[in-house]
Chains A and B, each alone.
Chain A
Amino acid sequence: MIASQLRSMWLVFRHLFSRNATVEYPDEKPYLAPRYRGRIVLTRDPDGDERCVACNLCAVACPPDCISLQKTEDEDGRWRPEYFRINFSRCIMCGLCEDACPTYAIQLTPDFEMCEYDRQNMVYEKEDLLISGPGKYHDYSFYRVAGMSISGKDKGEAVNEAEPVDVRSLNL
């Protein structure tokens, strides 16, 4: 028994000469992977248009219900959010919204330094969330590949899309 006590004292003492596991954070920034799940942004497609089509899938997937948005439709037929609001004081940075998004619009970034003195400042509006670039997916544009008709692109004109067929004309 005494031997084991002395041994544990010796083993603890040896840690005096081992390296610290601590990363002294504000002085020493840790490396964050490009796909680190941090602050959420809304991206734009390569043409500079908003990618978000206001489908609400992110808001449904969100476990703490911190995303809130309202759909509106442009004259050219494109859907977009009228407002898009994320309450970051609730957000748990789980990334389920990013997984749910069908258009790569909502993405998580390697940034977590978002402290505020006022709780209300943690609520980000669409203007605060939108960035100018396409984020992690450079060439993707939803309307270019989707079979949805908007002005200037009718059904069947998207990339890899065949002309629509009227099934009634298939009668023998």
Chain B
Amino acid sequence: MSTTVWVSLANIFGVLGAAVLLAALLTWGERRLLGFWQDRPGPNRVGPFGLFQVVADMIKLFFKEDFIPRFADRPVFILAPTIVMASMLLGFAVIPVAPMVGVIDLNVGLLFFLAMSSMAVYSVILGAYASNNKYALLGGLRAAAQTVSYEVFMGLSLMGVVMMAGSFNLREIVLAQQGGWFILPQAIGFLVFFIAGIAESHRLPFDLPEAEHELTAGFHTEYSSMKFGMFFVGEYLSVILISALVTTLFLGGWLGPWLPPVVWFFLKTGFLVMIFVLLRAAIPRPRYDQLMQFGWKIMLPLALANLLATGGVLLWLG
């Protein structure tokens, strides 16, 4: 086989393997960070700094009873958790980690990402529907409405970046930021996309689909063992994916002085992941109607105004 094949194989397994590994480690990292922010150490007993907590949790999940309720829709119930994992990992395929590092270089990379992140909602809805459980169904309904609403301006908020870079290709968007990161001219776009990203990955404060104080566990109420584990890892994958994408689109991707490009990419992504956890630690959950109002009455007009202003300025500059 030629060297290019080996290089792309290494890229595929390297990037996707690192994504899954980091998502698993994030379960530990998040608990540690939440612990520090609540003046307690967090999980620190298993291995150095509690790092092997991930392994312990994994073993626990694998040895738990894999229970499928009799009233559940069996094939759909089994299929649902795989969708979120698959679509999130496919989303990682277009992320340009560094020059030469990255699975695929698509001309419609951004659209591909949007498509994949919308695919993930099927996982939640099908899982909720197949569970045949009212808490799950309510969670699924919320997830559907929330994802559809926030999807709208998630795409719109990115159009400013696309106009400025003149491309849907994520690599070209990064290279277009050599003169300056897009977070400055596209500050509104950045905010809107980040908030939509939180809603897309069902993270606090927008985790109403699984709001544990009212819906027990929402859409994954009936899931146990590794099926639940896949929903869990899928959520953390989407946190990393959104962070990586914000890095790529607004924070100049791998660009940065002194350090190698990969390190810059990981530093920026890690910082954003930390913001995700900080939001969870600090901000309470809104009511469901507040969530919808916030989306349609504030975020959507903001995204449209940003789109209009960016287009106007670009036309004026010629």
Interface residues of A (CB under 8 A from B): 5, 8-9, 11-13, 15-16, 18-22, 24
23 contacts between A and B (CB under 8 A): A8-B282, A8-B283, A9-B278, A9-B279, A11-B282, A12-B37, A12-B281, A13-B278, A15-B36, A15-B37, A15-B38, A15-B39, A16-B33, A16-B36, A16-B37, A18-B39, A19-B39, A20-B36, A20-B40, A21-B40, A22-B39, A22-B41, A24-B41
A5 with B37: CB separation less than 8 A: no
Residues of B near A8 (CB, < 8 A) are 282-283
Return the chain B residue nearest A17 by Cβ.
B36
A7 to chain B, nearest CB (A): 9
B residues 21-45 near A (Cβ < 8 Å) are 33, 36-41
Query: Across the interface, which residues of A come within 8 angstroms of B283, CB to CB?
Result: 5, 8-9
The complex places the Cα of A152 from the Cα of B166 at a distance, in Å, of 110
Minimal beta-carbon separation of A159 from chain B (angstroms): 55
Whether A9 and B282, one on each chain, are in contact in the complex, defined by CB atoms closer than 8 angstroms, is yes
Smallest CB-CB A-B distances: 4 pairs:
A12-B282, A9-B282, A22-B40, A21-B39
Residues on B with C-beta less than 8 A from A12 are 37, 278, 281-282
* Number of A-B contacts defined by CB within 8 Å: 35
Q: How far is the CA of A124 from the CA of B36 in the complex (A)?
A: 42
In the bound complex, residues from chain A placing their C-beta under 8 Å from that of B278 are 9, 12-13
| Further 17 A-B residue pairs, CB within 8 A, beyond A16-B36, A21-B40 | A5-B282, A8-B283, A9-B279, A9-B282, A9-B283, A12-B37, A13-B37, A13-B278, A13-B282, A15-B36, A15-B38, A18-B39, A19-B39, A20-B41, A21-B39, A22-B40, A24-B41
- Chain A neighbourhood of B33, CB < 8 A: 16
How many residues of B are in contact with the other chain, CB < 8 A? 12
- Assembly CA distance A22 to B35 (angstroms): 10
- How far is B278's CA from A164's CA once the two chains are assembled, in angstroms? 79
Within the complex, the shortest CB–CB distance from A25 to chain B, in Å, comes to 11
Distance of A16 Cα from B281 Cα, bound (Å): 12
Nearest chain A CB to B280 CB, angstrom units:
10
Give the chain B neighbours of A16 by CB distance below 8 A. 33, 36-37
Residues in B with CB closer than 8 Å to A20 are 36, 39-41
Interfacial chain B residues near A9, Cβ < 8 Å: 278-279, 282-283
Nearest B-chain residue to A19, judged by Cβ: B39
Closest chain A CB from B301 CB (angstroms): 16
Contact mask B147-176 → A, CB, 8 Å, 1/0?
000000000000000000000000000000
A9 to B33 CA separation, bound complex (whole angstroms): 13
- Distance in angstroms from A152 CB to nearest chain B CB is 60
When C-beta atoms are compared, the residue in chain B nearest to A5 turns out to be: B283
- Please, how many angstroms separate the alpha-carbon atoms of A19 and B36 in the complex? 9
Chain A residues with CB under 8 A of B279: 9
Q: How far is the CA of A15 from the CA of B36 in the complex (A)?
A: 7
| Min CB gap B28→A, angstroms | 17
Chain A nearest Cβ from B293, distance in angstroms: 13
What's the nearest-Cβ distance from chain A to residue B92, in Å?
28
The distance in angstroms between the C-alpha atoms of A18 and B35, with both chains bound, is 12
